[in-house]
Structure 1
Amino acid sequence: MSLIRSSLLVGLGSVASRILGFARDVLFAQALGAGPVADAFLAAFRLPNLVRRIVGEGGLNPVLVPALSRESPDEAATVAGDALSVFAVALLALTGFVEIGAGLIAFLLAPGLHDDGRTLALVALYTRLSFPIVICATLASLAAAVLNWRGRFTATALAPLAVNGGLILTLLALESGFDLPLASKAAWLAAASSLAGLVQLGIVAAALLQGGSRPVRFRRPRWSPLLKSLLLAGLPVLAASGAVQIYFLAATQIASFWPSGISWLYYAERVMQLPLGLMAGLSASLLLPELARHHQAGERQALVTAQNRALEVALLLALPAGAALFILARPISTVLFERGAFEATDAEGTALVLMALSLGLPFATVAKVLSQTLFALGSLRTALMAAGMGLVVTVTASLILAWPLGPAGIALGVSLGCLGHAGAVILGLRRFGLWAPGRRSLSRLARTAAAALVMSVGLLGAGSVFDETGPLALTALCLGGLALYALAAFATGAMTRDDWASLTKKSSEPLRPDAGLS
């Protein structure tokens, strides 16, 4: 499959999933608003959704792809089966622990609700109902990693749509045919998320079991050194891959001390995650295998070139996205969320949080892309330490800024954490001698920033024309800003015809089974 076809397939799947997730969250706001029930549901939903996002963006690919590439086709099929079986048992045990200890977990997720026993009890209930999705999403991600290694992307791109699609159907049914209290609506949504996760797993499992020439082999797992290394590396890789999600988990705990703080942070994050999630999915599914190939072949310069190229493309999207979200935060929050139980004060609070988060979007993108090089090298320790540095900065900055600025200060702390994470990753790459952006990359970055500045000026000027920004006006601003940025990008040379031509090149040959990572 050509690079452009595989990129488009993964990209379209990621975009479609984010759009459905967007629609889901708009319906969440309409149905639940931003009060105590919404805070309870979104706090409980945070933990399973964190795992689903991490693994759904290819968080387990850095573990499985290099391990499978070192084995023969027959042995790789056996290793994949062993990994799926062992993870299934471990996840069942974890889910049992969560179901029993949901009360304690609820307190840890939202410590600010400890004085409100009823709301905290709702957090525990919704956690019990929604957490089984973790089993389905993680196993689906493992199966998707195997499919990606084989060069099969269709099922992995489409299966995640089942979760958001199922939740949207549930929300529409609850809003149209039932007159339920808010707490009951949230309970049905929590249960529906687990059922939708089962559908996602079924789609990927069906594609995996087709197998082709190398079907996955299931047996009673044997405790091999390879399987042990997979299990030991799993948690560090997930933590490093999902660093931003962990930062938001910590921010949610702090935001629980402010009324509606959990809800405002959640809805603003979902807007910010639209461009970031796209880059995360593309990096894990497409960039990581490419970097691993260059590392295995000893092509150090080619690895650096591929890394710099990916960073240029990522910032080509992230810089204008961050600027647009900052400028359009208020109309976005109003148009998307202000309806039903979601009031104007909630839209204003969400807008302030979104403005703070938009500042960290480029840094989160840089860290996400550059971390793939560390995964390709097998340097999980460096990747984990960089993620830990970002977490320390997030918690410290959020606690300091929360008191004068409230939830917006917490969001600004997350942005500073993304900056710290990106800086730590760059320092790690410098230790390996792999941070060399070069004159071409720096020039491209300057041109991209100039194009984003032109777009920003245009958006500010156009925004001043509208007295009130409704759906049509917001759509016009978004499309006009995109068109202006595209013209400015070509005019400044941030985007060239050669960039489009390079996408049509055939992707590299599959990883050689006998080529190992050092």
Structure 2
Amino acid sequence: MQDKKIIKSSFVIIVLIILGKIMAFVRDALIASKFGTTYITDIYMFSLGVVMLLTTVGYGLTTTLIPIHTENIENKSQQERNVFVSNILNISAIYTIIFVTISIILAPYVIYVFAPGFRENAEVFNNSVYILRVMFTSLFFVCIQSIITGVLQAHKEFSAPAAMAFVSNIIYVIYLISLSNKFGINGFAVATVTGFAAQFLINIPKFKELGYKYIFVINFKDENIIRLVKLMLPVIISTSIIQINLFISRYFATTIYEGAVAALDFSNKINMLVYEVFAVAISMVVYPTLSSYAAKKSNKEYKKALIRAVNVILLIMVPASIGILILREPIISIIFQRGKFDEKAVKITANALMFYTPAMVAYGVRDILYKAFYSLQDTKSPMINSFLGIIINIILSLIFVNSMQVSGLTLASATSAVITTLILIIILNKKLNGINIKYFFKVFLKVIVSALTMGFIIINVRNICFSKIGFNFKGDIISIIICFTIGVCVYFMCIYALKVDEYIYMVELIKKRLVKNKS
């Protein structure tokens, strides 16, 4: 029954995230068309990257708030819960306003230190400072939204938080279509802040529906607040690793050539597509389940749920990464190649994406493993692992950047992600006195064999399509559709033939659901 609820909740979230990603790709295509791979785009991508790095504080707040507020829901009255949530909102707002004010003042120094390539041109430097200052204001909405999202998820309300990206991307698309020619990238920075505000606002109706009302209260000595802060700091460090590593890559990219940051970010967006649609949804839903089993000390059920979640991630992410690797050029061409984003930009972005794809699988598995550690109230292991990942990424970036440029930066990030994920598996296996790691690698081997078989077929189908249809927008779309259809069929046939339990289990659940709906 618990598995059915997880799959149902995951499906709803996946649908909402897919809608958000569709709008995100429309947004990115418009950015590429309007601004191309130029310093204008580099400035925006860098500034957004700084903000996204800082939003991991909000994600850490959400992650830590969920188990604490779940206890409040079970043990405290509505009035007590209102006081607790309002207290967090007020304290967080005070610190955020102070931080944003200081950040706006120090913006020139942030650019000078972390984007050395921008300081060589006065116009580029000044534009960077202005846009970064505008973008910093969005952190206030991020902070408040993070708290409300945590409250909703503690109540197992996932729909509104999952719809946030869709709402903000609508705002971005409207601006890019109707106002970008007049107000340019500076106006888009304002639109970005508006998008973050919209993400906060769509959560309010459900928040009120659950009975929450704002109360003016500030109590820094509240024991739950102190507990929240202590647990939150290691979580923030752990969950920020993707953004930190991307920030490191952007730092090196600013020193390569004009458009390097944009190429890095465009390749990352495609690489993160499947991860953000599936892995984030599955980890979001499985986290409360793992926490529940851990609290009940149901070790057998805990390990079963953990391995099943990891294997489902592998079932999805491995073939997706291979498919994107093979079809990266036509995918990038369809999404981005128009306006100022020319064929040269496609090649640079495709080369960067080639080395990024292994990270997709590692990120997905690592998300589940992090949630496993958090459910066991171990926040230090993921934090130490994150520091190790950052060190590896910096060392490898220094080694690869001169010879491989942007591709070297993506290779460094992917290698760091794979190494740290394998280390997490080893640590968790020891911590839980065995998580049936033999079965995990058995499933991984079957998935790899199936995905490589699919990849071999896709390569041949792709070559036939290109020879018959040619390299153009229409040809790329037709080729991708044909390759996707055949690839999916081949992959699932292989998975079924190799008898991967998680796949068979999911198919049976879907069959039962369809039969129930018909009846």
Deviations 1:169-200 (A, max 9, x none): 1001135xx4x4xxx41111110011121122
* Alignment correspondent of 1:225: 223
Q: Return the structure number with greater relative CO, CA threshold 8 A, min gap 6.
A: 1
Alignment partner, residue 18 of structure 2: 15
1:313-355, Cα deviation, whole Å (9 max, x unpaired): 0011110111112111222222221110112111100000000
Q: How many residues align?
A: 496
Higher alpha-carbon deviation: 309-318 or 118-127: 118-127
Q: What is the 5 A alignment of 1:70-219? A: 70-71=71-72, 72-74=75-77, 75-174=80-179, 178=181, 180=182, 184-212=183-211, 215=212, 218-219=215-216
Instruction: State the AA in 2 paired with 1:155.
Output: A
Residue 65 of structure 1: aligned partner: 66
**2:517 corresponds to:** none
Deviation at 1:243, TM superposition (A): 1.5
- Over residues 458-492 of structure 1, what are the superposed CA-to-partner deviations in whole Å (9 max), with x where a residue is unaligned? 11101111132522322332333233322322232
Cα contact 2:52–2:243 (8 A) shared by 1: no
Instruction: Normalising by structure 1, report the TM-score.
Output: 0.90
Q: Which residue of 2 aligns with 1:515?
A: none
Deviation at 1:432, TM superposition (A): 1.7
For 2:489, which of 483, 486, 499 is the aligned residue? 483
Corresponding residue for residue 510 of structure 1: none
2:254 corresponds in structure 1 to 256
Per-residue deviation, residues 120-144 of structure 1 (Å, max 9, x unmatched)? 2211111112222222123212211
Change (3 A) 1:313 1:491: same
Shift of 1:79: 2.2
Distance change in 2, residues 1:435/1:112 (3 Å): farther
**Residues 318-397 of structure 1: matches in 2 within 5 Å?**
318-397=317-396
Q: Deviations over 1:290-310 (max 9, x none)?
A: 110011101122211111110
Q: 1:447 to 1:167 in 2, by over 3 A?
A: same
Deviations 1:130-164 (A, max 9, x none): 22222212321221111111122221222332211
Change (3 A) 1:424 1:496: closer
Task: Please state which structure has a larger fraction of its residues in helix.
Answer: 2
- Does the 8 Å CA contact 2:280/2:367 hold for their aligned counterparts? no
| SS across alignment from 1:17 | helix
Counterpart of 2:481 in 1: which secondary structure?
helix
Q: Which residue of 2 aligns with 1:440?
A: 439
Aligned to 2:504: 497
Q: What's the CA shift string for 1:332-387, capped at 9, x where partnerless?
A: 22222111011211110000000010122212222111111111112111111111
User: Bigger shift: 271-280 or 427-436?
Assistant: 427-436
* Cα distance in 2 for residues equivalent to 1:284 and 1:142: 19
Q: Distance in 1 between matches of 2:27 and 2:491?
A: 29
Q: TM-score, normalised by structure 2?
A: 0.90
Give yes or no for contact 2:86–2:217 (8 Å, CA) kept in 1: no
**Partner Cα separation in structure 2 for residue 76 and residue 427 of structure 1:** 39
**Contact residue 444 and residue 493 of structure 1 kept, 8 A:** no
Q: Which moved more, 1:202-211 or 1:130-139?
A: 130-139
**C-alpha contact 1:82 1:221 (8 A) present in aligned 2:** yes
SS across alignment from 1:2: helix
Q: Which residue of structure 2 lines up, in the alignment, with residue 234 of structure 1?
A: 232
Q: Distance in 2 between matches of 1:504 and 1:60?
A: 39
C-alpha displacement of 1:273: 0.8
Distance 1:505 1:151 in 2: 24
Whichever residue aligns with residue 33 of structure 1, its letter is G
- Measure, in 2, the Cα distance between the counterparts of 1:63 and 1:505: 36
Aligned pairs for 1:265-276 (under 5 A) are 265-276=264-275
Residue in 1 that maps onto 2:399? 400
Fraction of identical pairs, as percent? 19
Q: Secondary structure at the match of 1:34?
A: coil
* Structure 1 spans left out of the alignment, 5+ residues: 507-518
1:431 deviation in Å?
Answer: 4.3
Structure 1 residue 168 displacement after superposition: 0.8
Q: Which runs of 5+ in 2 are unaligned?
A: 514-519
Cα offset, 1:272, TM superposition = 0.6
Match of 1:458 in 2: 457
Q: Is the 8 A contact 1:326 1:359 kept in 2?
A: no
1:203-239 Cα offsets, whole Å, 9 max, x none, are 1122212224xx3563312121220232343343122
Once superposed, what is the RMSD of the aligned Cα atoms?
2.2
Aligned equivalents of 1:342, 1:50: Cα separation in 2? 26
Q: 1:235 to 1:340 in 2, by over 3 A?
A: farther
- Which range moved further: 89-98 or 302-311? 89-98
- Determine helix, strand or coil for the equivalent of 1:419: helix
Distance 1:384 1:354 in 2: 27
User: What does residue 29 of structure 2 align with?
Assistant: 26
- Give the 3 Å change call, closer, same or farther, for CA 361–299 of structure 1 in structure 2: same
**Deviation string, structure 1 residues 377-419 (Cα, Å, up to 9, x no partner):** 1211111111111111111111101111111001100001101
1:255 is displaced (CA, Å) by 0.9
The separation in 1 between residues aligned to 2:511 and 2:248, in whole angstroms, is 42
What secondary structure sits across from 1:258 in the alignment?
coil
Residue 512 of structure 1 aligns with which residue? none
Within the alignment, does 1:3 sit opposite 2:12 as a pair?
no
